[in-house]
């Protein structure tokens, strides 16, 4: 890093344009790598580590016989011929590759050689200025719709210096900013972002600290105190509550969360309910990531509506995503 904030680098794993669920209007959401929590339902395992990661999508692999370039370019012999499988698109049998992850240093040579993009490196370094210029390409959409830029993760505050510098740069461009955070960050980091953040998208996963630690790897005391600090400083908060079966979907937890939101006062602009889904399972396979994930059916519409009514009973506006 340098003293010039515009040259601070951050590691980004995705940039999604035309986002309509991460704050008001049409937005561009930047996803930063790195997160201190290990939520048992996490649908973005590629966000957890700070390092670049090799991703393999079996469905795109053309096979060892037709291609096989990755086997020859790997300097660590981390890629070998794997099992015979049938490609769904052609019904043809091919021999796919096998990645010995303990040998792989994520150098990316195989991804560069893979024309079908079955192999790819998740993670790219950007300077603040480079990323700002990319985000400003979408500014006409922000101005037309009342949107802006959302910085997400992982946990964006895990890359605090980069996130703060990017927020400042965007505010200099009169761009609406939202910070999507777990709240599990030093209080000073939270407070430093408030002058440059128009809206906090703030996760409240569970109000019981022991249960929170069991399912995320950390207690919730810091998260709750940071939420209070944001409210005390008059910043706007959109509470995000994941509805996870057998974890956070009880009416008791909904009431406790609603009571806490009401304590935060006028800072809470809306509560967003996020029903559990298992769409991230494929991402774990692409990373060969072995994790003890929640295995459950998504909550029923009746369950979501009941939780919604509890929040509304406390006078809180609710949206469902």
**CATH, residue 18:** 3.20.20.70
110 in the same domain as 20? no
Per the model's pLDDT, the better-predicted residue between 66 and 32 turns out to be 32
How many residues does this entry show for the chain?
Answer: 321
**Can you name the residues that pair with 85 across neighbouring β-strands?**
94
**CATH, residue 107:** 3.30.70.20
Output the six-digit token pair for 142. 């922000």
The SS3 call for residue 136 is helix
Q: What is the pLDDT of residue 92?
A: 81
240 in the same domain as 171? yes
What is the bridge-based pairing of β-strands 199-203 and 79-86? unpaired
pTM of this structure: 0.92
> Residues 270, 276, 281, 282: what is their CA dihedral angle, to the nearest 10 degrees?
-60
Q: Select from 205, 207, 264, 273 the least CA-distant residue to 236.
A: 264
The secondary structure of 245-288 as a DSSP string is: TTTT-SHHHHHHHHHHHHHTGGGEEEEEEEE---TTHHHHHHHT
Question: How far is residue 95 from each of residues 61, 92, 283, 289, measured CA to CA in Å?
Answer: 9, 10, 21, 22
Domain housing 9: 5-51+124-320
69 in the same domain as 198? no
95 in the same domain as 234? no
218 in the same domain as 162? yes
Q: What is the pLDDT of residue 284?
A: 66
pLDDT tens-place string over residues 36-84: 999 988 888 899 999 999 999 988 888 999 999 999 999 999 999 998 9
Last residue of a domain, one of 120, 143, 174: 120
pLDDT tens-place string over residues 86-111: 877 677 888 999 999 999 999 999 99
Last residue of a domain, one of 105, 120, 135: 120
Last residue of a domain, one of 69, 90, 120: 120
109 in the same domain as 179? no
62 in the same domain as 26? no
267 in the same domain as 251? yes
159 in the same domain as 33? yes
Output the six-digit token pair for 230. 């944001």
81 in the same domain as 38? no
160 in the same domain as 106? no
The SS3 call for residue 35 is coil
Taking residues 134-160, what's their average pLDDT?
97
Please state the domain count of the chain: 2
216 in the same domain as 89? no
């Amino acid at each position: 890093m340098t003293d010039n904030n515009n040259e601070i680098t951050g590691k980004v794993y995705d940039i999604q344009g035309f986002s309509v669920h991460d704050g008001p209007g049409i937005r561009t959401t930047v996803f930063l790598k790195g997160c201190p929590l290990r939520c048992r339902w996490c649908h973005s395992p590629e966000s957890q580590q700070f390092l670049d990661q090799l991703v393999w999508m079996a469905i795109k692999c053309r096979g060892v016989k037709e291609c096989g370039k990755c086997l020859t370019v790997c300097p660590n012999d981390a890629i070998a011929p794997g099992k015979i499988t049938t490609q769904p698109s052609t019904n043809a049998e091919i021999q796919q590759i096998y990645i010995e992850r303990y040998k792989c240093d994520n150098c990316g040579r195989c991804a560069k050689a893979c024309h079908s993009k079955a192999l790819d490196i998740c993670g790219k370094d950007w300077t603040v200025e480079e990323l700002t210029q990319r985000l400003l390409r979408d500014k006409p959409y922000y101005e037309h719709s009342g949107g802006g830029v959302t910085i997400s993760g992982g946990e964006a505050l895990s890359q605090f210096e980069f996130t703060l510098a990017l927020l400042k740069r965007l505010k200099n461009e009169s761009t609406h900013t939202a910070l999507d955070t777990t709240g599990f960050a030093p209080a000073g980091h939270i407070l430093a972002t408030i002058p440059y953040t128009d809206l906090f998208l703030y996760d409240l996963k569970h109000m019981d600290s022991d249960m929170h630690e069991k399912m995320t790897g950390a207690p919730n005391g810091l998260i709750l105190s940071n939420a209070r600090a944001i409210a005390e400083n008059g910043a706007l908060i959109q509470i995000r509550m994941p509805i996870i079966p057998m974890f956070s979907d009880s009416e008791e937890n909904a009431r406790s969360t609603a009571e806490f939101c009401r304590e935060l006062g006028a800072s809470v602009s809306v509560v967003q309910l996020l029903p559990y889904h298992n769409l991230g399972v494929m991402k774990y396979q692409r990373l060969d990531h072995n994790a003890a994930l929640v295995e459950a059916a998504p909550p029923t519409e009746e369950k979501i509506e009941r939780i919604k009514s509890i929040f509304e009973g406390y006078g809180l506006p609710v949206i469902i995503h």
